[in-house]
C-alpha cells in the first residue's frame, strides 16, 4: 500500500454500537497524514494498518468520485487543470478493481463556459468507466441559473437537476445545492427538492444502502467560509430510518471525513487545485503549493460497497 492512499471503513452492522458516537477524521491525501480527532465506537482504519478488503467478493459495487475539475482555471495554483484531470482519469483506469461508474461532484467548469464543459467531456471519454453521473457546483451555473448545465447533464432529472438511481441494491441520490443562494447564507436545497427527496426514499426498505452526493458539503464543515448547506438537516432527517447512509461532497478541495450515527460524510479532493484547511487562511482561495507537491494533494476517491456488510470503503488517492 502506497503512502498516498488512506482508507476509512465504517461497519454500521457493528451491534452494541453507540450510534450517536462521533468520529471526526481528517486526511490529506498524499501526505499519508491521517488524524483521528475524537474516536467513537465506529471504526476507521488507515489501509497501511489493516489487511486490504477482498476486492473480488461477489455482489460488490465499486465506483470512483472525482470533483472540482474547474476546467478553465489557469492561475498560479495550477496552470494545467486539463493535465491534472487527465492524471485523475489515468489513476481511475489503473485501479485494481475497475469502477462501474464515476460520480463528478461539481465545479466541472470554472466559468460555466461551453468549451470548458466540452474539454471535461472529452477527457472523461478516456475513462474506463463509461457512465459519469454529475451534480452541479456553483461554478457550473454562473449567469444563467443552471440552464446550460441542465441542458447538458440534466436529462431525466427533476427540477434544477436532482435525480436518483439504483444499482446493485444501492440507492444513489444526486442533489443540487448551489442555486438560489441567499445573502449571508450557505448552500441551499430548497423546499421543492426536499419534498422530492422525501417522496424518493419513502418506499425504500430500511436496509437499502443510500449514497447521497451533492457539491457543497451537507454537513457544517466551516460555515464562516460557506462550507455547509442551510437545510441539509431536513434532508438528513429523511434518511434517519436507513442503516447505512454515505454522503459524498466536493467544494472544499480537500478530503475530510466524519461519521455521525448512521451517516458517513466524505468530501473529495479537487482534480484542479487545493484549498486551505478551515480557518488556516484569510479566505478559502486557491492554495499555492510548490509545483512538485501539487499532485500529492489533488486526487480521486474510490468507493467500494460490500454487500451484506453495509460498509463502504472510501479510498482517497492522490495524483502523485
Partner 1 sequence: MRRSVSTGVFLVTLGLAIVGLDGVAGKATASAQSTPETMAVKIDNFTFGPAELTVKAGTTITWTNRDDIPHTVVSSDKAFKSKVLDTDEKFSSTFRTPGTFSYFCSIHPKMTGKVVVQ
Cβ 72 to partner 1, closest distance in Å? Answer: 9
Output the CA angle 189-219-207, nearest 5 degrees: 85
Strand partners, 101: 131
The CA distance from 99 to 65, in Å, is 10
Nearest CB to partner 1, comparing residues 223 and 279: 223
Cβ 283 to partner 1, closest distance in Å? Answer: 4
CB distance 64 to 301 below 8 Å: yes
Nearest CB to partner 1, comparing residues 187 and 261: 187
Nearest CB to partner 1, comparing residues 250 and 286: 286
Nearest CB to partner 1, comparing residues 140 and 302: 140
Which parts of this chain interact with partner 1 (CB under 8 A)?
75-77, 110-112, 138-139, 142-143, 181-186, 223-226, 282-286
Nearest CB to partner 1, comparing residues 177 and 301: 177
Nearest CB to partner 1, comparing residues 73 and 213: 73
CB distance 285 to 250 below 8 Å: no
Cβ 270 to partner 1, closest distance in Å? Answer: 12
Cβ 39 to partner 1, closest distance in Å? Answer: 32
Other CB atoms closer than 10 Å to residue 128's CB: what's the count?
14
Cβ 204 to partner 1, closest distance in Å? Answer: 33
Residue 80 Cα to chain centre, angstroms = 22
Cβ 288 to partner 1, closest distance in Å? Answer: 9
What is the DSSP code string of 179-239? Answer: SSPPTT--BB--HHHHHHHHHHHHTS-TTS-EEEE-SS-SS-SBGGGTBSBTTHHHHHHTT
Cell numbers 437545510 correspond to 231
Amino acid at each position: 500500500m502506497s503512502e498516498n492512499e488512506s482508507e476509512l471503513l465504517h461497519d454500521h452492522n457493528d451491534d452494541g454500537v453507540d450510534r450517536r458516537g462521533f468520529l471526526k477524521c481528517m486526511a490529506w491525501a498524499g501526505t499519508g497524514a491521517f488524524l483521528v480527532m475524537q474516536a467513537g465506537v465506529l471504526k476507521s482504519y488507515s489501509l497501511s494498518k489493516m489487511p486490504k478488503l477482498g476486492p473480488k467478493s461477489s455482489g460488490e459495487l465499486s465506483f470512483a468520485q472525482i470533483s472540482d475539475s474547474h476546467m478553465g482555471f489557469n492561475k498560479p495554483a495550477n496552470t494545467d487543470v486539463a493535465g491534472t484531470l487527465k492524471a485523475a482519469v489515468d489513476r481511475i483506469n489503473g485501479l485494481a478493481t475497475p469502477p462501474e461508474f464515476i460520480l463528478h461532484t461539481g465545479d466541472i467548469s470554472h466559468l460555466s463556459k461551453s468549451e470548458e464543459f466540452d474539454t471535461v467531456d472529452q477527457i472523461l471519454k478516456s475513462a474506463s468507466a463509461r457512465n459519469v453521473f454529475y451534480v452541479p457546483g456553483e461554478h457550473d451555473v454562473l449567469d444563467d441559473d443552471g440552464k446550460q448545465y441542465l441542458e447538458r447533464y440534466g436529462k431525466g432529472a427533476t427540477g434544477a437537476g436532482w435525480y436518483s438511481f439504483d444499482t446493485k441494491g444501492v440507492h444513489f441520490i444526486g442533489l443540487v445545492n448551489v442555486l438560489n443562494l441567499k445573502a449571508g447564507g450557505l448552500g441551499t436545497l430548497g423546499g421543492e427538492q426536499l419534498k422530492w427527496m422525501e417522496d424518493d426514499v419513502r418506499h425504500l426498505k430500511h436496509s437499502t444502502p443510500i449514497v447521497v452526493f451533492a457539491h457543497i458539503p451537507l454537513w457544517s464543515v466551516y460555515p464562516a467560509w460557506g462550507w455547509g448547506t442551510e437545510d441539509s438537516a431536513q434532508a438528513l432527517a429523511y434518511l434517519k430510518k436507513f442503516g447505512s447512509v454515505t454522503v459524498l461532497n466536493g467544494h472544499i478541495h480537500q478530503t475530510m471525513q466524519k461519521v455521525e450515527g448512521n451517516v458517513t460524510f466524505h468530501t473529495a479532493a479537487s482534480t484542479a487545485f487545493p484549498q486551505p484547511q478551515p480557518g488556516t487562511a484569510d479566505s478559502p482561495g486557491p492554495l499555492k503549493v510548490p509545483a512538485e507537491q501539487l499532485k500529492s494533494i489533488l486526487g480521486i476517491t474510490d468507493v467500494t460497497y460490500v454487500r451484506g456488510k453495509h460498509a463502504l470503503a472510501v479510498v482517497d488517492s492522490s495524483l502523485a
